[in-house]
Amino acid sequence: MDFDYSAKTKELQARLLAFMDEHIYPNESVYLEEIAANRAKGNAWIPTRIIEELKPKARAAGLWNLFLPKSSRAPQGLSNLEYAPLCEIMGRVPWAPEVFNCSAPDTGNMETLERYGSEDNKDQWLEPLLRGEIRSAFLMTEPAVASSDATNIECSMRREGDEYVINGRKWWSSGVGDPRCAILIVMGKTDTEAPRHSQQSMILVPTNTQGVNVIRPLTIFGYDDAPHGHMEVELKDVRVPVGNLLVGEGKGFSIAQGRLGPGRIHHCMRSIGVAERALELMCQRLNKRVAFGKPLSAQGVWRERIAESRCMIEQARLLTLKAAYMMDTVGNKVAQAQIAMIKIVAPNMSLQIIDWAMQAHGAAGISGDTPLAYAYAYQRTLRFADGPDEVHRNALAKMELA
Amino acid sequence: MDFDYSAKTKELQARLLAFMDEHIYPNESVYLEEIAANRAKGNAWIPTRIIEELKPKARAAGLWNLFLPKSSRAPQGLSNLEYAPLCEIMGRVPWAPEVFNCSAPDTGNMETLERYGSEDNKDQWLEPLLRGEIRSAFLMTEPAVASSDATNIECSMRREGDEYVINGRKWWSSGVGDPRCAILIVMGKTDTEAPRHSQQSMILVPTNTQGVNVIRPLTIFGYDDAPHGHMEVELKDVRVPVGNLLVGEGKGFSIAQGRLGPGRIHHCMRSIGVAERALELMCQRLNKRVAFGKPLSAQGVWRERIAESRCMIEQARLLTLKAAYMMDTVGNKVAQAQIAMIKIVAPNMSLQIIDWAMQAHGAAGISGDTPLAYAYAYQRTLRFADGPDEVHRNALAKMELA
Amino acid sequence: MDFDYSAKTKELQARLLAFMDEHIYPNESVYLEEIAANRAKGNAWIPTRIIEELKPKARAAGLWNLFLPKSSRAPQGLSNLEYAPLCEIMGRVPWAPEVFNCSAPDTGNMETLERYGSEDNKDQWLEPLLRGEIRSAFLMTEPAVASSDATNIECSMRREGDEYVINGRKWWSSGVGDPRCAILIVMGKTDTEAPRHSQQSMILVPTNTQGVNVIRPLTIFGYDDAPHGHMEVELKDVRVPVGNLLVGEGKGFSIAQGRLGPGRIHHCMRSIGVAERALELMCQRLNKRVAFGKPLSAQGVWRERIAESRCMIEQARLLTLKAAYMMDTVGNKVAQAQIAMIKIVAPNMSLQIIDWAMQAHGAAGISGDTPLAYAYAYQRTLRFADGPDEVHRNALAKMELA
Amino acid sequence: MDFDYSAKTKELQARLLAFMDEHIYPNESVYLEEIAANRAKGNAWIPTRIIEELKPKARAAGLWNLFLPKSSRAPQGLSNLEYAPLCEIMGRVPWAPEVFNCSAPDTGNMETLERYGSEDNKDQWLEPLLRGEIRSAFLMTEPAVASSDATNIECSMRREGDEYVINGRKWWSSGVGDPRCAILIVMGKTDTEAPRHSQQSMILVPTNTQGVNVIRPLTIFGYDDAPHGHMEVELKDVRVPVGNLLVGEGKGFSIAQGRLGPGRIHHCMRSIGVAERALELMCQRLNKRVAFGKPLSAQGVWRERIAESRCMIEQARLLTLKAAYMMDTVGNKVAQAQIAMIKIVAPNMSLQIIDWAMQAHGAAGISGDTPLAYAYAYQRTLRFADGPDEVHRNALAKMELA
């Protein structure tokens, strides 16, 4: 047992932290102002110049596609345990991961293509994704049914000759707002008569296919997350060649399972990064603000919250790192309970700490003047994304009871 | 001791509920769409037609200025205990109070004018406010200092001949976004050498006075609350006649105190209304959604939350009604502890229930498709408005320890 | 709506408070020392002299059988709303209710006899109970089954001629340890084939009947509650005349229901009394103890807890008083949700406050040197007694969902 | 970074688990019955035969003095990281640590003697302690002052010639009840004029010294913890030779600091063991009990609690193991924040889980029929022992703010 990061990890952390200091933090307001300016000019749905400028710099700094597991295409790939602490650092600024080509849902989509795509699929979509030229989306959740139960999915995929015809309605299709989003991975049912977990399939749908209709952007609290966006998408008689089906009919559920493990590590480590930042901002603010004759940081109630925050962050980080370690050493399946745990723990932890940090900032905390309110809104989505807390707690309890 | 509403209250409740059913709920989406349309056309900062259409109807239905305490101008005025349950009902829809000319900060401003304004002040500003022709704002909070401690205020009011010259920077000036907002009540310091609670004064500043510069709207979790808005306002060499000063120099703190009691009852009752609505939406959703073979409402974890919600709402309502009763019978001063309690209890209660309701709705819960996310954002501001929880808990504890 | 106690209630409160000051608080240690001395002499299971001395004084002071609802035997009987605040006061000292002949389970048993007993039953058992000469117990809970579901009960009652033959095993039979405990009300099944809620019956069993075997006292944390005691009792071929059956076969469940309402009000008001006392002790201690240069009461974390305690107590009291009011005005049935709420809220509230009070006292708080640890232990039982929290939350949620 | 136990640890865990299965669990009721029998015979304050029988077996199994860090007297000594998981296992049964000569306060006292005692001190007291022939106590806490602030201590140690004369009153002197308790380590002040942290000294006082008067046993939620006991002890003109002073005058505070680190690891790991056991019992019970037609374990509310329990235990264990790792690698001082964290986290975690487990057991859970109620009572003491939560949170926050 050893609680120290490896030398390799420490070196990457140092490099990444330096990049954050040099290129990310100084551009936080630049990013927001660019979007505000675009919006004022009438279209917030265009990629930002600032991210495009920073991407080549990250690539030059050797901080590109860090998420990629070791494979033939990525001989330098990192293990989950190596990547996790980097994810935490990137998570401190919401748009930072994209600079390193490490942002959701692209990372999960790239992994899915790498593992389950044909060579043709990879050439056509994986390569430009890895180069950061296009973006992608993952269409699973549907407005009409409880998505916590994946067997509820209603989107239909009917084979007709050499094509699949897809009909359905999806929402929370994140990233579809971005004009660079070229490829969609769609979950649907190819056979509603098959056993419960063999009805679903996954298929690649180019965004510009006829019948792919973007209905509207959804908001998270009052944020539309432009230019990324979370869209409602209608799929109406969408036709794609059979070669676009990943692996084979009925494999959708198991692909989804395989995809989830690493994605959860990433999400949770980013939650930890956000929580660290919130705690940092909270401490700074409390040291600075004076009320009733002394800095807020001298008041016991804030001391309690700072201490609790530190305890919660440390615990969540160790739990997540252990989950990453287990995925590396014993695999997704055996690490299942551990992964369920982090999914439950991390967003609830970060929400609590961000909430305290907002309270420490007074009204500024919920405004656009700090990154806290947006962070809260975004973290709040993680209590639903990939299944709500309740489903994960239920699953974890079943394992425990057995 | 009697826990039943009076006949008069029941009659008013019935009338108000009928109006809500007939005119408010059916127009909830109309209101949002009108603002969205205005925004798309380039200006969200104009009053909505729908509210203007409904105001005369409310007046005709005898549901106008209900907040007004009994006085020479309002012989039919309601007691706090009579008005409180009506406030709860109006609170179920965020923009409903304006329809009845019962929305913050106008109600508090009208009470302030009624109690502390000169006859001239009343004729000029109170009358059109009571008729719902103009709106008003209350400028107290400042970006540079901890507003939880009112003695921190830095805005200066210097007398020069027959005028006061005002310089300062305020924010969270709610309602200033509305073009109808004609009058500002500004808190500042006329004498920084006076005893701590006698330095502050309150003064009337017409919005169109030279030197009143609206800097920008602030956002609450991404919402700009147009057309109402929460503004940052610069006051630069603003000159108003001395007759605009309320009561006299050094009375600002005590006016603020007097203003707070009824305002807190209103806020808290609206929080209860919001919480009731969230619980209602939660139950409906849980009854409707099916996962893993049964409606969510059959799952124990949701039953626990529903039960807790009901317990929390009932308790908060009784506490607030008792505070209203005490204000009516023994006055603000003696009711001080009771008012501190509701200020602590009500927003925390509503936030918890809204959060559960959002969770019950899955991702829809944090989007614009339900009123929940906005309700959460708005309720979250109430944990700072008129002093943060921490200050009220501290004050309450001191009374208890004494 | 009126939040003031009636003149009658205020007068009774004043009289009761005076009696507490004069006779109960000064004897708190006397009571504990008497039991300790009895235990040291080899038998803690004898009634205390101190309570026997105080009973006639309470009777003389007109503070006797206050719990009795108005009836032919009690023309001066109090309403639930009148009795509730007295219950709160008595609840401040665990053994005080017995002094006023108002202690559980005797009060519930007396009400049960009053409502459901024959005239013979009343003459034989109710009269001496009302005079405080004998005591009683209520045998419902069984060790072998989940008592939260009353239909699980296994104790059998078989009619043989003019007798019922009872076989079963009960536990948590409170009060059976007291040698004065002369009569047991036993819940069992007379017909296991009947509909689920018509299988149960209640019967009177004199404690000295052959086959009534007291197995052992149970402990609550480390307390055996001598001389009252919570006993495990074997009923082995116990024979009683058919006249001992209350009302009729199959009425057990509905008698149990009727019994529960007032009992819950009493329990909850006593919980509130205990919480008030814990808060009082906490404040005194915090004002007195100095650490790191200032009294603990000046530290923010304690201020937060004091404020929260006050908020929780006030809310729970109003909720309970409203439940009492509803029982008086609309009856047990309609007040069902309200009664479920107080059962959930009150013990959890008191436990939290007592826990804080213990923490404020340091190690003294969990020792025998303050009444807190015992209070905690006793309040903890109320989260199971008459059904665990979970069952009540479930029932309340069902009403809400309907 | 490596989350696996070392081979050495795994081997020791396996050996210890086997011993628990063979010798400890089967004797849990034997132990309780032996004490009950002793108590019934008039003296619960004698060592149990069962523990004396098991000690030689543990020694023979190589499971003796496992707590000892590597040193000249213990060349096989374990690191903190190696010992911690063993501590967890022993912690599952409250009296198990003594069987392995690993029980508090003896372990801390032995470490103190080893580090700070003279060779004479070691020969006389450390050797028989290591052989498990005598026991010891640590007298620090005083009834008259807030012990959370160590500078409050009032016990005086006045040098007179070759002796120190000690006067003071201590309580919560754990283990003094045991007739084998031969040596006391006493904290007091040798110089009340010295700087705040140099006033205190520690001295060895044989229990049978004249003037050492055991006043009474204290109880913890009704438990007297016989034959171990937590005593109030008067020290009245107690005289011991100057050689009994550890290290030198004024070193008391720093000795106390050095002692605390490992002790906290031990306590916290035992808390984790207790929590694991509570969770185990909870799951067993919930699987077995049926209410309303299905096992309790199928009910959502219990699933939530089981899942939360598992998350909390895993996190607390990782946090504690990391603290042990840091103590081994960077020392007590640098690990200070980490040690504060576990002190805050572990007992609160175990209390929550035990409370749920009690609730799952119904009334049995708070009786003597499960180990849960005693476990709760004992864990509750750990929120005060070695400083209350509030002090540790405050210290941790200060480090964070710096």
Task: Tell me the pLDDT tens digit for each residue of A119-146.
Answer: 999 999 999 999 999 999 999 999 988 8
Higher pLDDT, B203 or A75: B203
CA distance B115 to A198: 72
Shortest distance between the Cα of A160 and any Cα of chain B, in A, equals: 31
For the cut 90, the answer to whether the pLDDT of residue C150 exceeds it is: no
From the list D167, D184, D191, the residue with the least C-alpha distance to D250 is D191
Tokens of B38: 């205005």
For the cut 80, the answer to whether the pLDDT of residue D147 exceeds it is: no
Which fold does the domain A253-401 belong to in CATH?
Butyryl-CoA Dehydrogenase, subunit A; domain 3 (1.20.140)
Name the one residue in this structure whose structure tokens are 């909830």. Answer: B28
CA distance D196 to D200: 9
For the cut 90, the answer to whether the pLDDT of residue D148 exceeds it is: no
Residue C301 to residue A303, Cβ atoms within 8 A:
yes
Residues of A in contact with D283 (CB under 8 A): 400-401
User: pLDDT tens-digit profile of A307-345?
Assistant: 999 999 999 999 999 999 999 999 988 999 999 999 999
A388 touches B: beta carbon within 8 Å:
yes
Which helix or strand (DSSP H or E) is residue D306 part of?
A: helix D300-329
B29 touches A: beta carbon within 8 Å:
no
User: pLDDT tens-digit profile of B260-312?
Assistant: 788 999 999 999 999 999 999 999 999 999 888 889 999 999 999 999 999 99
Report the chain D residue with the minimal C-alpha distance to residue A327: D3
Q: Write the burial class of residue D40 (CB in 10 Å: 0-12 exposed, 13-18 middle, 19+ buried).
A: exposed
CA distance D178 to D175: 6
B299 touches A: beta carbon within 8 Å:
yes
Helices (H), B80-229: 80-90, 96-99, 106-116, 119-121, 127-130
For chains A and B, CB pairs below 8 A equal: 127
Closest Cβ opposite residue D359 in set C149, C172, C383: C383
Report the chain A residue with the minimal C-alpha distance to residue B370: A221
Residues of B in contact with C86 (CB under 8 A): none
B245 touches C: beta carbon within 8 Å:
no
Architecture of domain A135-246: Beta Barrel (2.40)
User: pLDDT tens-digit profile of B20-30?
Assistant: 999 999 999 99
Contacts of A61 (CB under 8 A, 6+ apart): A15, A19
Q: Could you tell me where in chain A the CATH 1.20.140.10 domains are found?
A: 253-401
A147 touches B: beta carbon within 8 Å:
yes
Report the chain C residue with the minimal C-alpha distance to residue A300: C300
pTM attached to this predicted model? 0.96
CA distance D172 to D220: 10
Shortest distance between the Cα of A361 and any Cα of chain B, in A, equals: 9
CATH 3.40.50.2300 fits B136-246, yes or no: no
C303 touches A: beta carbon within 8 Å:
yes
Predicted confidence band of residue C10 (pLDDT cuts 50, 70, 90): very high
D307 touches B: beta carbon within 8 Å:
no
B356 touches D: beta carbon within 8 Å:
no
Report the chain B residue with the minimal C-alpha distance to residue D298: B300
Bridge-based pairing of strands C230-241 and A135-139 is unpaired
Shortest distance between the Cα of C237 and any Cα of chain D, in A, equals: 26
User: What does the DSSP 8-state code read for residue D368?
Assistant: T
CA distance B391 to A397: 40
Q: Return the partners of chain D (3 or more C-beta pairs < 8 Å).
A: A, B, C
Contacts of A225 (CB under 8 A, 6+ apart): A174, A177, A217
Residues of A in contact with D81 (CB under 8 A): 1
Angle at C391 between CA C388 and CA C397, to 5 degrees: 140
User: pLDDT tens-digit profile of D76-128?
Assistant: 789 999 999 999 999 999 999 999 999 999 999 999 999 999 999 999 999 99
From the list A376, C397, A309, A378, the residue with the least C-alpha distance to B351 is A376
B148 touches C: beta carbon within 8 Å:
no
A239 close to A202: Cβ distance less than 8 angstroms: no
A329 touches B: beta carbon within 8 Å:
no
B positions 275-294 inside 8 Å of C (CB): 279, 283, 286-287
Range in A212-216, C238-242, D373-377, D389-393 the model is least confident about: D389-393
Shortest distance between the Cα of A372 and any Cα of chain B, in A, equals: 9
C66 touches B: beta carbon within 8 Å:
no
Predicted confidence band of residue D154 (pLDDT cuts 50, 70, 90): very high
Which of B287, B297, B366 is the best mutation test for A, with the most CBs of A within 10 A? B366
Virtual torsion, Cα D41, D42, D44, D48, nearest 10 deg: -40
Which of D286, D292, D296, D299 is the best mutation test for B, with the most CBs of B within 10 A? D299
Residues of C in contact with D219 (CB under 8 A): 222, 367-368, 373
Residue A362 to residue B220, Cβ atoms within 8 A:
no
Residue D302 to residue B299, Cβ atoms within 8 A:
no
Q: Could you tell me where in chain C the CATH 2.40.110.10 domains are found?
A: 135-246
B215 touches A: beta carbon within 8 Å:
no
Which helix or strand (DSSP H or E) is residue A380 part of?
A: helix A372-381
For the cut 90, the answer to whether the pLDDT of residue C395 exceeds it is: yes
What is the model's pLDDT at position C145? 86
B355 close to B363: Cβ distance less than 8 angstroms: no
Residue C301 to residue A302, Cβ atoms within 8 A:
no
Q: Return the partners of chain B (3 or more C-beta pairs < 8 Å).
A: A, C, D
Residue D301 to residue B300, Cβ atoms within 8 A:
yes
What is the model's pLDDT at position A18? 98
CA distance C99 to C305: 33
Closest Cβ opposite residue B362 in set A374, A376, A388: A388
Q: How many CB atoms lie within 10 A of CB C210?
A: 9
Tokens of C349: 């509230």
Predicted confidence band of residue D146 (pLDDT cuts 50, 70, 90): confident
CA distance A341 to A343: 5
B100 close to B58: Cβ distance less than 8 angstroms: yes
CA distance B126 to B112: 9
What is the model's pLDDT at position A69? 85
Question: What are the strands, taking DSSP E only, across A200-282?
Answer: 200-206, 212-218, 230-241
Q: Return the partners of chain A (3 or more C-beta pairs < 8 Å).
A: B, C, D
C189 close to C201: Cβ distance less than 8 angstroms: yes
Residue C301 to residue A300, Cβ atoms within 8 A:
yes
Architecture of domain A7-117: Orthogonal Bundle (1.10)
User: pLDDT tens-digit profile of C207-265?
Assistant: 999 999 999 999 999 999 999 999 999 999 999 999 999 999 999 999 988 777 889 99
What is the model's pLDDT at position B69? 85
User: pLDDT tens-digit profile of D183-210?
Assistant: 999 999 999 999 988 999 999 999 999 9
Predicted confidence band of residue B70 (pLDDT cuts 50, 70, 90): confident
For the cut 90, the answer to whether the pLDDT of residue C290 exceeds it is: no
C81 touches B: beta carbon within 8 Å:
yes
The residue-averaged pLDDT of D168-176 equals 96
C327 touches B: beta carbon within 8 Å:
no
The residue-averaged pLDDT of C328-345 equals 94
For the cut 90, the answer to whether the pLDDT of residue C71 exceeds it is: no
What is the model's pLDDT at position B24? 98
Report the chain A residue with the minimal C-alpha distance to residue C299: A300
User: pLDDT tens-digit profile of A45-95?
Assistant: 999 999 999 999 999 999 999 999 877 667 778 999 999 999 999 999 999
D147 touches C: beta carbon within 8 Å:
yes
Q: Is D75 helix (H, G, I), strand (E, B) or coil?
A: coil
| D126 half-sphere exposure, CB direction, 13 A CA radius | 19
